[in-house]
Structure 1
Amino acid sequence: MTMGKRVSKKESWFKENNFTAEDEIYVGVDVHKRNYHVAIWHNGRIGCAYSMTSDNNKLLRDIQQVRSSLKNIVYEAGPTGYSLVRLLRSANLPAEVVAVSKTPRMTDTSAKTDRLDCQQLAEYAAKGLLTFVAIPTEQQEADRQVVRLRDQLTSKRKRIMHQVKSFLLQHSISWPGGNWSKILIERLRQLDISSELRFTLAQYLDEYEFFCSKIAETETKLRQIFSSERHSAAIEIFKSHPGVGNIVAWEYRAEMFNITRFSESKQISKYTGLCPRISRSGQTCHQGPITKTGRRQLRAMLVQAAWAWYRRDPHARQIYNRLLHNTGNGKKAIVGLAKRIAIHLWRMLCDGCLYDAKVVKV
């Protein structure tokens, strides 16, 4: 006697239901490197929940069975990137990636599991409680990856610089003076110290020079990327703004990528994390520190650009002085300038015009 093939609960659920356009289905996926946890919200409740290996094509085949009723497929942004959402969209299925920081969380975290996470995502999608991230094209993501590579390399170089200073302090060795340069590196290599300490210091300096060379290579690649037809016009517009050079223009272009998705200046300040936290209670409204959402490196570069703008443009100094008078805080004033640069660049690109202090609103 031969045994029939065992049918899983998932397969039984798909076969038992006759899905029509009148049904409402939302799919939540908890995505991991080795496995996916999937929950299907069907007409107001979880109809099916299961786990599977992390196979995008297999998941697509499952979802195709409920295509006629499907409203949305959602998963949280994470290390697995955008390959799944791109595959689903290429099959003309509605799919979104969820902003993790803006997802509602349960107060009781003791019951947190992957199975519950995917069920929550499906339920929150059905109830309209999720915020989605913008999905870059593969080309936009590739360009952004090179920009972020430079950020990573400069962070590693900065770490080595701190290690060298800590090393000198630890061994009571005087700093030879000057900023980091080839001359300073040579002075450090010629310090009168023991052979063991000289060997250790040499390893730090070799690592520093290695990262300098890699940063130079990366910047050469970035010049090639952003001089291409898809970027050159935008970069020219950005660099017309006082204080904005290649590095800031590249970072802004890569991180904002599709500038037309923003419809108002408030969205720019929120996206860059340069807007203050607002606390309302009754008739009172209190402005706290900036939200610091979004990419920290972009925010830091906009602040650097704000200082350069302040030094070069009397118009910027007027704005800074007004902000300083209103807030009584120099840091808040310079952050206010940085926010204005972010908004200016967005508005200039939307209008297709170069910077003009008389035209740009402040």
Structure 2
Amino acid sequence: MDKDSELFVGLDTSKLKISVAVADGERNGEVRFFGDISAEPASVASMVAKLAKRGCKLHFCYEAGPTGYELYRQIIGLGHCCSVVAPSLIPRRPGDRVKTNRRDAVSLARLHRAGELTSVWVPDETHEAVRDLVRAREVANDGLRKARQHLQSFLLRHGRIYAGRAPWTRVHSRWLAVQSFEHPAQNIVLAEYIQAIEDAAVRLDRLTKQVSEAMSSWSMGPVVEAYQAMRGVALITAVTFVVEIGDVPMSVAD
């Protein structure tokens, strides 16, 4: 095997296994299915070692998805190239509706060799950790919104309509406190819905505070602060943009 040759390796990943396909570097070179391996790091390392024995430069790729970036980091750590590609930008042949792990791996290897895949930006471990924290806050915010919807739907079913200007104010809270029903079961439901809202609000406040505190030690903290200089952009908007997009280079007009 020529020491200067290349292999393009497509990986179709799932929770428990990885389907592996290999394309020779030549334009019309062979594309073949290598096999299925366990998703465990030890199995990945063994597969990489077997391919590396051929003396080729290895180019790995797999689709961005729920399995995250640990596979990328492992392959990079082993000294090889790896791309995480955008699933929505993978070229699809018209009428090609049959999807199997094997076919997808072979397709990835072929397209990677042809240069037709679009890589996504891979955050470092610290950036990903802050992203996880911000997304946890988003989940908490959704939880608060849903808890409020449950209470509003319950009250509406029983003709309890708040006549004030806006809900979830102190005035609204006092209105909720005086609501009662003849049947004890419905009073229990009311109390539980109100408690769920209070618990969700506490959780949201706690995570918001933790996001704010994380900015002081994060390398992208100054970027978050800079975005807040724009009108209407507060902390959560700025940090959400940065964790999802990263730092956006600004062009300077001559």
TM-score, length basis structure 1? 0.63
Cα deviation 1:94-132 (Å, max 9, x = unaligned): 001111111122433552111111111111111111111
Between 29-38 and 57-66, report the one with greater CA deviation: 57-66
Between 76-85 and 52-61, report the one with greater CA deviation: 52-61
Cα deviation 1:227-281 (Å, max 9, x = unaligned): 2362442233222111111111211222222435xxxxxxxxxxxxxxxxxxxxx
Q: Determine whether 1:23 maps to 2:5.
A: yes
Cα deviation 1:14-43 (Å, max 9, x = unaligned): xxxxx3234331111111111111111124
Amino acid at match of 1:239: Q
Which structure is richer in relative contact order (CA contacts within 8 A, separation 6 or more)?
A: 2
Point out where structure 1 has 5 or more consecutive residues left out of the alignment.
1-18, 261-346, 352-359
Counterpart pick for 1:41 among 7, 20, 23: 23
Which secondary structure state, in structure 1, belongs to the residue aligned with residue 2 of structure 2? coil
Matches within 5 A, 1:184-223: 184-194=172-182, 195-223=184-212
Cα deviation 1:154-189 (Å, max 9, x = unaligned): 111111222222222222222253321344234223
Amino acid at match of 2:136: L
Q: Determine whether 1:86 maps to 2:73.
A: yes
Contact kept, 8 Å, 1:37 with 1:52, in 2: the verdict is: yes
Distance in 2 (CA, whole Å) between partners of 1:227 and 1:105 is 44
Amino acid at match of 1:211: A
Matches within 5 A, 1:1-362: 19-42=1-24, 43=26, 44-67=29-52, 68-177=55-164, 178-194=166-182, 195-228=184-217, 230-260=219-249, 347=250
Q: Percent identity?
A: 25
Amino acid at match of 1:125: H
Cα deviation 1:302-323 (Å, max 9, x = unaligned): xxxxxxxxxxxxxxxxxxxxxx
Distance in 2 (CA, whole Å) between partners of 1:74 and 1:258 is 24
Contact kept, 8 Å, 1:189 with 1:202, in 2: the verdict is: no
C-alpha spacing 1:241/1:81, structure 2 compared with 1 (3 Å): same
Amino acid at match of 1:65: K
Distance in 1 (CA, whole Å) between partners of 2:240 and 2:50 is 42
Contact kept, 8 Å, 1:30 with 1:114, in 2: the verdict is: yes
Distance in 2 (CA, whole Å) between partners of 1:130 and 1:206 is 49
TM-score, length basis structure 2? 0.88
Amino acid at match of 2:61: V
C-alpha spacing 1:224/1:160, structure 2 compared with 1 (3 Å): same
Amino acid at match of 2:6: E
Contact kept, 8 Å, 1:226 with 1:232, in 2: the verdict is: yes
Distance in 1 (CA, whole Å) between partners of 2:96 and 2:186 is 50
Cα deviation 1:302-348 (Å, max 9, x = unaligned): xxxxxxxxxxxxxxxxxxxxxxxxxxxxxxxxxxxxxxxxxxxxx3x
Instruction: Give RMSD over aligned pairs.
Output: 2.1
Distance in 1 (CA, whole Å) between partners of 2:216 and 2:171 is 32
Task: Select the structure that is richer in helix.
Answer: 1
Name 1:313's counterpart in structure 2: none
Distance in 2 (CA, whole Å) between partners of 1:87 and 1:258 is 25
**1:193 Cα deviation (Å)?**
2.0
Runs of 4+ that moved beyond 4 A: none
Contact kept, 8 Å, 2:33 with 2:102, in 1: the verdict is: no
Cα deviation 1:194-251 (Å, max 9, x = unaligned): 3222211221211111111011111111111112362442233222111111111211
C-alpha spacing 1:229/1:105, structure 2 compared with 1 (3 Å): closer
Point out where structure 2 has 5 or more consecutive residues left out of the alignment.
none
